[in-house]
Structure 1
Amino acid sequence: MRLFNQSTLFLLILLIVGFFGKNQSLMIAVGTLLIVKVTGLDTRIFPYIQSKGIHWGVTVITIAVLVPIATGEIGFKQLGDALKSAYAWIALCSGIIVALLAKGGVNLLAEDPHITTALVFGTIIAVSLFKGVAVGPLIGAGIAYVVMRFVNYFS
């Protein structure tokens, strides 16, 4: 196994981008991947992370979002009060749209995996240069899926 190859160089560049962009999430992600790679566990761990990582991430985000319910900060009263606001209805509709886009994104990534490269690179650019959050590939794939279906419908 050659330790220093194209993928290692790419990860090191991303680590530097994360450092200068002050993006802790990117640095932790890249650092973790580099450690797995250096220890030689990459051939066993990377396929598992690649197949299950999105689901883990969604689960962790869901847990974080549900914490205010678990702590009692948000209950039925707050839900009822929120639904009296126009902004809450906008948020509700946005949540539905995003979940449907993500569903389309999962389908696109399963049907056309090479598109993942462009989506991941777009996410890296947004995270490192624009202080974005790395939930982009799934939603990006969903948006791409909708646009591609729209284009195919009219072609």
Structure 2
Amino acid sequence: MFNQPMLFLFILLIIGFIAKNQSLMIAAFSLMVIKIIGLESKVLPTVGAKGINWGVTVITIAVLVPIATGDIGFKQLLDAMKSFYAWIALGAGIAVALIAKNGLVLLAEDPHITTALVFGTILAVALFNGVAVGPLIGAGIAYLAMQMVKIFQ
């Protein structure tokens, strides 16, 4: 029952506790419980395959809540577009989406890179109070950096 994956998850749980990172603690604890109760082969493949999409969906829902509640409407959108910062935000949103698209390409072509990306995300979450939305955008940034290296070789 206490094997290498469980030890690794336990260490991540402790790191989450030390760093006061609730998301990391919940994630590590949940995965430990899934393994302990024996649902690993039924649950983990599905979560691994679809979890990022679920997470993006939940984040998108959270972002759209102000629209659903009426706090943000067309008037606020039009008012915001009069701001120079809004145009910067619009451009950043487009750039991040395009960069993340390349991350999907990298993960499909070079899946072992996922290990380094996940570890980088864990470090950022645990040590720098980051948010674990990084693997996909991290893969996109890595993809762009790798393309730059190829160009200058």
1:82: how far off? Answer: 0.4
Counterpart of 2:139 in structure 1: which amino acid?
A: A
In the TM superposition, 1:2-151 aligns within 5 A as 3-151=1-149
Partner deviation per Cα, 1:42-79 (whole Å, 9 max, x = no partner): 01211111000000000000000000000000000000
Counterpart of 2:44 in structure 1: which amino acid?
A: F
Structure 2: distance between partners of 1:12 and 1:104: 33
Counterpart of 2:37 in structure 1: which amino acid?
A: T
1:111: how far off? Answer: 0.9
1:154: how far off? Answer: 2.4
- TM-score in terms of structure 2 length: 0.98
| 2:20 partner SS | coil
Structure 2: distance between partners of 1:95 and 1:128: 25
| 2:71 partner SS | coil
1:152: how far off? Answer: 1.2
Percent identity, aligned pairs only? Answer: 70
Aligned to 2:150: 152
- TM-score in terms of structure 1 length: 0.97
Structure 1: distance between partners of 2:134 and 2:58: 16
Structure 1: distance between partners of 2:18 and 2:144: 34
Counterpart of 2:50 in structure 1: which amino acid?
A: K
Structure 2: distance between partners of 1:96 and 1:104: 13
| 2:75 partner SS | helix
